[in-house]
Chains A and B, each alone.
Chain A
């Protein structure tokens, strides 16, 4: 990659992560690793973001939040699952409130394993995502809107969750 049309901005959301991966993502922004040299900025607004970085797995409370953020991001967009919890659920996969990896809810483009994922591998993941972003831009890929209707219907039926 010698030329890029965009400086990819990322939005980070902590799903049900233990903070281990989150602080490593923050560490990527700081002088030691410094991803800002690639033009990568951590933004708080989904409408400004190109890359959605998620740590931790899906649980009952945050599935709606993840979908909202994903749907609000403009095309083209790329999702990076950081840490083993975001990839598959990790050590917490057997917990009653963990539904599994992020890919059960939104399409994931890059998986970054590790507990906690090291800053080097996070940067590697984001740079890979960047290539995919360029590809999507070139091919004018539009991402689907995700919704959780199935889950909600099931939920009503099962009467789960605290009322």
Chain B
């Protein structure tokens, strides 16, 4: 069995300070991921040092604006553009902002809506 994983809930305002703290502690950014839970969106920031993961969770609504941590971790821009394109959450101040062209999708913000392909006969609905 692997170690249990704790995800600490924080507020939107703490995102940047926690990122700064993580960088000071010599942690690397592992990933930023988003999940839709009913009407809310959970964004999880994961940092790692010596295979010990530290995770922070924020809960936001659609069209909320979250601060970018790409000023602290340059590589965060890929995750932040992804969150913007797939979920429609605005991220303020990304260093390389694709402005919604990172993923070209048929449906705008596909992960924020329920999708049923009407014209397809063989699918589980």
Contact = CB atoms under 8 A, between A and B. Distances in A.
> Is there any pair of Cβ atoms, one from A and one from B, under 8 angstroms apart in the complex?
yes
A162 B100 contact: yes
B120 interface: yes
Query: Binding site of B, secondary structure by majority: helix, strand, loop or mixed?
Result: loop
B108 A162 contact: yes
A66 to B, nearest CB: 14
A93 B123 contact: yes
B105 A162 contact: yes
Interface residues of B, number: 18
B103 to A, nearest CB: 6
A90 B115 CA distance: 18
Interface string B88-125: 00000000000011111111111000010100101110
B108 A97 contact: no
Contacts of B102: 162
B123 A96 contact: no
A18 interface: no
A161 B104 contact: yes
Nearest to B81: A162
A139 interface: no
Interface residues of A, number: 13
A163 B100 CA distance: 6
B120 A160 contact: no
A59 B107 CA distance: 11
A141 interface: no
B50 to A, nearest CB: 32
A159 interface: yes
Contacts of B80: none
A90 to B, nearest CB: 12
A60 B105 contact: yes
- Which 5 residue pairs across A and B have the least CB separation, nearest first? A162-B100, A61-B104, A60-B104, A96-B110, A94-B123
18 contacts: A59-B104, A59-B106, A60-B105, A60-B106, A93-B122, A96-B107, A97-B105, A97-B110, A160-B105, A160-B108, A161-B104, A161-B105, A161-B106, A162-B85, A162-B101, A162-B104, A162-B105, A162-B108
